[in-house]
Structure 1
């Protein structure tokens, strides 16, 4: 869903690092490094997105809350994506893998047999990153925001709002999710405990 949709709706946008929320500068993107991947290896919260594509906009409007975990594999340049979506007060879990294009600064995945690319926009000083898509299409362009904390600062919210207007959209297009409507935290906890026990059992059998 939410992150999945963001990866489906793709275009190119260079790396963005806003030092001042009053001045959002977009420049040519840098390659993705091991340092970047290590930083991405964490739990993230989907904060919201500005989406002009009507189909994807409708899907995001149904989404109450999303958080996900990214686990990069530095050997084969892939990244495990584990998503927890709260939709209609129910938790929906999804797991998949993303491709990493280091030189282009993009993430990718196969959707319907087609390889789709999303440009990674890192905001390290805010503990956040964006994904951009279809920026050249006035009817489909969009920008999403993901952060390490669900309760973002006013400064980060302003950075996102200004980035949205910078790429040719209006702040009114932004749809924010509500982290207080989360229904997946308990399921995530149970799943992590189950995986921990599964890993422990083989080790005990070898003892």
Structure 2
């Protein structure tokens, strides 16, 4: 949930490419330069629906989260700088994802094992989903991200439709609460201090 949620899931769950066709509502398309440029910038983690109890428990601890995607079009990677509020404190993480353009997936290697998430973008509604293990009923899940904490109703509708396509119910969705964000003010303070340092006395 890349993004702490994504990293948690990608680090714990080996995802194999689906052997059977995946539900159309969660299957991404090929990733292009335009897709990566569109993904560049600030995103907010909105919520997840997860079958795996361990991952669900981890998601419940996330009060608010936003992150920055910085794609590298040359080496097909995305740098993630993530600010997550959990247990009323701000935690910063930085990591990289590999981009598989043809498959429409993002992946991360850990201990020589590749973990995969399927990317589904909604350019019109300025949001995207990451689908995990759509071929594994016991472990599958979905996460939703948007360019603003106040998500467009149309985007939430697409997310709910995708959740239901995996046999889950809307009541299983765990949403974040932007009002509980503890990171924005800290980030602003750090940026002010950095500018003062650069400008000098």
* TM-score, normalisation: structure 2: 0.85
For structure 1, list consecutive stretches of 5 or more residues without a partner in the other structure: 17-23
Cα gap change, 1:168/1:195 in structure 2, threshold over 3 Å: closer, same or farther? Answer: farther
Report the Cα offset of residue 28 of structure 1: 5.8
Cα 1:132–1:28 shift into 2, 3 Å: closer
Q: Tell me whether 1:116 sits opposite 2:115 in the alignment.
A: yes
Task: Name 1:184's counterpart in structure 2.
Answer: 183
- Identify the residue that residue 60 of structure 1 maps to in structure 2: 59
Who is 1:19 aligned against?
none
Aligned equivalent of 1:41: 40
Aligned residues of 2:117 and 2:133 also touching (Cα < 8 A): no
Between 156-165 and 186-195, report the one with greater CA deviation.
186-195
Secondary structure of 2:25's aligned partner: coil
The CA distance in 2 between the partners of 1:172 and 1:43, in whole Å, is 28
Matched, 1:5 2:8: yes
Once residues 101 and 164 of structure 2 are traced to their aligned partners in structure 1, the CA distance between those partners, rounded to angstroms, is 28
1:194 Cα offset (Å):
5.5
Partner of 1:174: 173
Secondary structure of 1:81's counterpart equals strand
Is residue 50–residue 56 contact of structure 2 (8 Å, CA) maintained in 1? yes
Mapped contact 1:135–1:167 kept (Cα < 8 A):
yes
Question: Cα deviations across residues 137-194 of structure 1 (Å, max 9, x unaligned)?
Answer: 2211101100000011222212211110012212121100101110000222234455
1:71 maps onto 2:70 in alignment = yes
Instruction: Give the match's secondary structure for 1:98.
Output: strand
The runs of 4+ residues in structure 1 deviating greater than 6 Å are none
CA contact (8 A) 2:62 2:176 kept: yes
Distance (whole Å) between structure 1 residues aligned to residue 91 and residue 180 of structure 2: 13
Distance 1:92 1:28, change over 3 A: closer
Q: Is the 8 A contact 2:85 2:181 kept in 1?
A: yes
Shift of 1:71: 0.1
Q: How many residues align?
A: 192
Displacement, 1:25?
4.8
Deviation of 1:43 after TM superposition, in Å, equals 0.2
TM value normalised by structure 1: 0.83
* Helix, strand or coil at the partner of 1:110: strand
Alignment CA distance shift 1:27-1:178 (3 Å): closer
